[in-house]
Amino acid sequence: MIVRYAIDAVVELSVIASFTRIGPAIRRRLFAWDAAEPGSLKGRTALVTGPTSGLGRAVVDDLARLGARVVLVARSADRLARVRDELIAAHGGDRFPIVVADMGSLTSVRAAVAEVLATETRLDIVVDNAGAIFPERTVGPDGIEATLAVLVVGPFALIGGLLPLLRTTPAARVIAMTSGGQYTQALDLDDLQTAAASYAGALAYARAKRAQVCLVREWARRLAADDVTFCAMHPGWADTPGLADTLPGFYNVMRRLLRTPSEGAATASWLAATADVGRFNGKLVLDRRARPFDRVPWTVVSPADRRHLWDQVVGLSGMPDPLPSA
């Protein structure tokens, strides 16, 4: 077993082997990964944001195969209806309700929360997957920079609103889909909305993902006494429309090594199903193992700064603090 972990550590340090499809190919053999049994999530309810393409689409297919009821949350009613119909055809059962919501609009997020609370009696799994990259700095309907709104403030308001339902569901879990780009960016807590610094869409996205991961750690800290697990998962470098559109040079160079969407989403699906999810509370997970939050020292966010970030996001969300810190 020591040799296996040593090989895994070398793969992780190499980055390219770890993040591409080489990583799961090696680790699957090293650790003899087992697959969850079809139907193993029967009777459980999941909610997935951004389920109409890419990693989100792969996650909902996995959860549907495992028998879960899956609430589909996205902006487009037409695309949601198409995904719902495909899921029913592939997996059977009318268990894929749709909730039309724009994660960049707090009014829309609050309406989605109200709808879920009114229609669902339990919530076992939340997969925070929705994302967007804006080529130019854009301000959303609430006066918040759009990348921060979609990736950070909107999901925070969604989870905060759904927290009562999560807390009454045994072994509930929230899984945040992050990105390798977050390793490269530091957070400027004095300019969280990139108002003063020069704006680049991919960098704003990476900083928002770092903020997302920091908030996962803070959710886990503040809910340590509850039976709700918060973790982030890193999909590696996956072949998705978003990657092809935003980083075409990188995409063309790495295309043959990129993970499929299913390979990228596999850790999220595993975290949704495993009974052992509690050991990953407050952790960042790639290929079924906890990984470092930081790869370079200048991106480290201290506990005090995570609390400061939390307070800023609470203020931007316009909601009462769902978990005031002791």
Could you tell me which residues come within 8 angstroms of residue 9 by beta carbon, excluding any fewer than 6 positions away?
Answer: none
- CA diameter of the chain: 53
CB 71 within 8 A of CB 99: yes
- Report phi then psi at 47, rounded to 5: -130, 130
Residue type, 236: G
Query: Where do runs of H (alpha helix) occur along 44-186?
Result: 54-65, 77-91, 106-119, 146-148, 154-167
What lies within 8 Å, CB to CB, of 104 at 6+ separation is 132, 140, 141, 144, 146, 149, 150, 154
Least Cα distance to 54 among 285, 244, 254 occurs for 244
* Helix, strand, coil percentages for the chain (3-state, nearest 5): 50, 10, 35
Going by DSSP bridges, is the β-strand pair 284-286/98-100 parallel, antiparallel, or unpaired? unpaired
CB atoms within 10 A of CB 109: 28
Strand order in the sheet with 98-100: 98-100, 69-74, 45-49, 125-128, 172-177, 228-233, 284-286, 289-291
Q: How far apart are CA 149 and CA 209, in angstroms?
A: 12
User: Residue 5 catalytic?
Assistant: no
Catalytic residue among 5, 183, 199, 205: 205
Which residues, including other chains, have CB under 8 Å from residue 320's CB and lie 6 or more apart? 314
Give the DSSP H/E element, type plus range, for residue 134.
Answer: none
The residues carrying an active-site annotation are: 205
